[in-house]
Amino acid sequence: MTELRTVPSEQGIPLAFRHTPGSGPAVVFLPGYMSDMAGSKATAIFEHCRTQGRECLLLDYSGCGESDGDFADGTLGIWRDEVLLLIANQVESERVVITGSSMGGWLMLLVALELGDQLASLVGIASAPDFSEWGFDEEQKAQLRAGETIFEDSDYGYDPMPTHAKFWHDAERRKLLDAPIPVTCPVRLLHGQEDKDVPPEISLRLAAALASEDVQVTLVKGGDHRLSRDSDVALLLRTVDATRSI
């Protein structure tokens, strides 16, 4: 891995990132909820790009991983703007491939809508757009509407896992699946058939909502939400490799 560096956000918060230069389109990886750039998929993509001489950017949102800030202050809107700032300040290639995992797949779409001609393609991994709607029951939504933080059991080392009302209210304003999504670049969506956290149906709904006519959904038999088995990571790397020519 290359040296960890930081750049201040618009609010002055040091944002951590790793960058390896090379040819394009540059690959930008967006982690999931409460995840960071030290995850297995992020590091696999980074090392793969580095050895191939392809530009790649990893990052931690404010309040996550090596970045400063308080996780409770984070929202999709804030994190989207941080991603856009890092792309503008660090990426050298004229075009970028955004790769998003879980919540990062929602952010991937929000970032894509702002990139214009710089956007080359998207690669989603168990993408979770609109999870503020389908990911909570009515009792939990009532608590969040009232400004409460809710806590849930987690299988990912964040036990209990919080959802803060500020994040949820912002997310509700950024739902995408119930209207056409004006993204026209090639899109590749990978989703485990045994995903218990994000139903595979979400990737199918996303494929239908996207304006692009070049969208492929790959359902992985036996794959869970992490999609971190050796075979899953190999599929991800092949998918990212293919974005050089699509």
The answer to whether residue 2 scores a pLDDT higher than 90 is: no
Question: What integer best gives the mean pLDDT of the chain?
Answer: 96
How confident is the model over 158-175, as a mean pLDDT?
93
DSSP string, 19-66: EE--EEEEEEEE--TT--TTSHHHHHHHHHHHHHTEEEEEE--TTSTT
How confident is the model over 86-94, as a mean pLDDT?
97
100 — pLDDT class (breaks 50, 70, 90):
very high
The answer to whether residue 78 scores a pLDDT higher than 90 is: yes
191 is catalytic: no
The answer to whether residue 187 scores a pLDDT higher than 70 is: yes
What confidence score (pLDDT) does residue 156 get? 65
The answer to whether residue 154 scores a pLDDT higher than 90 is: no
Residue range 194-233, pLDDT digits in tens: 999 999 999 999 999 999 999 999 999 999 999 999 999 9
246 — pLDDT class (breaks 50, 70, 90):
confident
What confidence score (pLDDT) does residue 164 get? 97
What confidence score (pLDDT) does residue 1 get? 61
Side-chain half-sphere of 233: how many Cα atoms within 13 Å? 13
Burial of 55 (0-12, 13-18, 19+ CB in 10 A): buried
The answer to whether residue 40 scores a pLDDT higher than 80 is: yes
What confidence score (pLDDT) does residue 227 get? 96
Q: How far is CA 41 from the centre of its chain?
A: 11
The domain total for the chain is 1
The answer to whether residue 157 scores a pLDDT higher than 70 is: no
Annotated catalytic residue, options 130, 195, 197, 232: 195
Give CA separation, 113 vs 100, 144, 190, in Å.
14, 27, 20
pTM, entire model: 0.96
What is the CATH classification number for the domain harbouring 167?
3.40.50.1820
158 — pLDDT class (breaks 50, 70, 90):
low
Annotated catalytic residue, options 60, 164, 225, 232: 225
Strands (E), the chain: 5-8, 14-20, 23-30, 54-59, 96-101, 119-125, 150-152, 161-163, 187-192, 215-220
Q: Which residues of 77-116 are buried (b: 16+ CB within 10 A; e: fewer)?
A: ebbbbbbebbbeebbebebbbbbbbbbbbbbbbbbbeebe
- Residue type for position 214: D
**What is the residue range of 30's domain?**
5-242
What confidence score (pLDDT) does residue 89 get? 97
Annotated catalytic residue, options 9, 35, 62, 102: 102
195 is catalytic: yes
48 is catalytic: no
